[in-house]
Structure 1
Amino acid sequence: MNTDMINKRMKIIEDIQAELNKLKTHYEEALENDAGFQKVQEEVEKVKEEYKEKQEKILTNNAYKAINDQLKEKRLELKEQKEALSQELVDYYREHGTPEIEDNDGNVKRMKFSVRLVS
């Protein structure tokens, strides 16, 4: 496969993204011009402020803060384990040439690959 096809596909994606952004802007402008929506949005903002204040008050309690810290730690650990598994699966695929692997229970799992371009 040559780079012309890839570049063409990237241009199509850019064009669709630009069109999507325009539509999103029009949608948001339509909502901003609706008085009923504005009233509801103001009420939502008030509720969000109250929620945030209550949450901050609760988090000043050391027991809740400790639980929140544990949640953050476990989320980070889970993210790291998933990244490690992803790399191990790529290595397994390179070594064995098959996109399937059997888990501890005997179930066959199929690998799904995803690739992105980053600048």
Structure 2
Amino acid sequence: MSDTTSVIQKRLKILDDLLKELNKLKDDLDGALQDDPNYGKFLEEREETKKDHKEKKGRIMATGVVKGYQVEIKEKIQEIKENREILSQELVDYYRENGTLEIVDANGNVKRMKFSVKLVN
């Protein structure tokens, strides 16, 4: 096992321990809040307000003009997502071909690439 692998394994263990501690703290906070009678009353009031807000918003959003905008926005968000995924792959290819982390955009601005890596199970 290499030194790098050992360091990564230690870092993963540290992160795992910290996440466990964070979850315990969150659970403790939830328990403390559940024991507070004012918090229960607050939750009930919040739910009533949310229902009222959702109902009013639903009536407004049901209008034709608003629905049209919602459809356009959803389509535009999907188009942006797809183009970002394509750009990501194109940037990886560019890096492989040129070995540089910088690229000039259409306006002449120098952009620097930033890579992000995640571990998945």
Q: TM-score, normalised by structure 1?
A: 0.88
CA distance in 1, matches of 2:32, 2:112: 45
Counterpart residue number, 1:86: 88
Q: Which residues of 2 match residues 1-119 of structure 1 at below 5 A? A: 2-119=4-121
Q: Tell me, which stretches of 5 or more residues in structure 1 are unaligned?
A: none
Corresponding letter in the other structure for 2:82 = E
Q: How far does residue 58 in structure 1 lie from its aligned partner after superposition?
A: 2.4
CA distance in 2, matches of 1:31, 1:81: 44
CA distance in 1, matches of 2:48, 2:71: 27
Q: How far does residue 89 in structure 1 lie from its aligned partner after superposition?
A: 1.1
What is the aligned residue count? 119
Could you list the structure 1 runs, at least 4 aligned residues long, displaced by more than 4 angstroms after superposition.
none
CA distance in 2, matches of 1:77, 1:32: 43
SS of residue in 2 equivalent to 1:115: coil
Q: TM-score, normalised by structure 2?
A: 0.86
Corresponding letter in the other structure for 2:77 = R
Q: How far does residue 49 in structure 1 lie from its aligned partner after superposition?
A: 0.7
CA distance in 2, matches of 1:6, 1:97: 26
SS of residue in 2 equivalent to 1:112: coil
CA distance in 1, matches of 2:33, 2:114: 39
